[in-house]
Amino acid sequence: MKKIDLKSLLIGILSTMLVFSTLGLRSKTDELGHLVVRSLTIEDDRGVIMGYLGNGYMQTYNQYGEPTLFIGTGKDGGGYMRSYNGNGDESAYVGTGRMGGGYIRTYNNSQKETAYLGTGSDHAGQLRVYNKDGVTSSYLGDGYYQAYNQFGERTLFLGTGTSGGGYLRTYNFEGQETVYIGTGADSSGQLRVYDSAGETGTFLGSGYFRTYNQFGKMTTYLGNGRDGGGYLRTNNKFETETSFLGTNNSNEGLINLNDKFGQSFWIRLNKGNWIFIHFLTFSP
């Protein structure tokens, strides 16, 4: 039987330990340490590239070699991420804009933008929704909401005015304002209805109602007077008063009829239940 040389065995064990120490032998649960690589390519079992990491960005691919995700740094120094559908077309973007604000964009399978959520040019937050053709259909901004038709014309506005009051505006298919409901300059509520030319047709304010013709002339007034009494006035197309029905300054009922020039005769009904008719002028 061959005799084991203890001296040689000891030297072998010490040499092995020295080699492992030099190579940085660590336990299985410990970290690998500092690893430096210029790029990293990941392939599947068939050798198809599934991912790439290097040069300041990371990109992933599907089994057909189409890009599915990109994460990296843009030309302006901001970070961003792009995701792609199965055909390799961009479907979403998350990143930093030119002015430093963040935003998200989404696209449909026709590469038309469908939504934008982020920071606008006014440095405030905003949300835009687009139709299938990439035309803006809804906009939510700093204190207001707007809707648009298929031609890109605004049809609705709901928000806060410069004076701090809320209001609603509607528009026709040509972008012409049709209705206003909200707070007026006197901080009271009001309703305006416009004709097809954009002229006020009807106005409902705090305690009164007015109508207008196509020339912008007031034709009817129904409401409260300065002294607190109610009355109705009608005007002709030139805004000349033609009739008055209401309460006069003496708190009595009064009916007043005028000719086309505003010359009047009047009928007064007082508490004595008698009628007095005064003819001032007559038209031939």
Amino acid 255: pLDDT: 86
Is pLDDT at 221 greater than 60 in this prediction?
yes
pLDDT of residue 44: 84
Residue-wise pLDDT for 128-150, tens only, equals: 999 999 999 999 999 999 999 98
Res 275 pLDDT > 60: no
Handedness of CA 98, 101, 102, 105 (dihedral sign): negative
Cβ count within 10 A of residue 9: 10
Rounded distance, CA 55 to CA 41, Å? 12
DSSP notation for 73-126:
E-TTS-EEEEEE-TTS-EEEEEEE-TTS-EEEEEE-TTS-EEEEEEE-TTSSEE
Reported as a single tens digit per residue, the pLDDT across 14-26 is: 555 555 555 554 5
Mean pLDDT score of the chain: 83
pLDDT for 55: 84
Range 83-111 burial, b when 16+ CB lie within 10 A, else e: bbbeeeeebbbbbbbeeeeebebbbbeee
pLDDT bin (cut points 50, 70, 90) of residue 161 is: confident
Is pLDDT of 280 > 50?
Answer: no
For residues 76-89, give the mean pLDDT: 88
* Statement: residue 12 has pLDDT above 70: no
pLDDT value for 3: 54
Q: Can you give the pTM of this predicted structure?
A: 0.68
User: Which of the residue ranges 28-32, 107-111, 169-173, 208-212 would you say has the lowest mean pLDDT?
Assistant: 28-32
Q: State residue 269's pLDDT score.
A: 53
pLDDT band at 282 (very low <50, low <70, confident <90, very high): very low
CA–CA distance, 16 with 25 (Å, rounded to integer): 11
DSSP string, 35-49: ---SEEEEE-TTS-E
From residue 153, give the alpha-carbon distance in Å to each of 57, 127, 142, 176: 41, 18, 20, 9
- What mean pLDDT do residues 23-41 have? 65
Q: Using an 8 Å Cβ cutoff, are 57 and 69 in contact?
A: no
Instruction: Output the CA–CA distances (angstroms, integers) from residue 217 to 201, 241, 258, in the order listed.
Output: 9, 11, 17
Per-residue pLDDT for 115 more than 80?
yes
Q: Which helix (H) or strand (E) holds 265?
A: strand 264-269
Distance CA 262, CA 32 (A): 101
Residue 107 has pLDDT above 90, yes or no: yes
- Does the pLDDT at position 232 exceed 60? yes
List of residues 6+ apart from 171 with CB closer than 8 A:
153, 154, 155, 156, 157, 177, 178
Give pLDDT, residue 164. Answer: 87
Give the C-alpha separation, 29 to 198, whole Å. Answer: 77
Can you tell me the distance from the alpha carbon of 275 to that of 61, in angstroms, rounded to the nearest whole number? 96
pLDDT score for 231: 93
pLDDT band at 105 (very low <50, low <70, confident <90, very high): very high
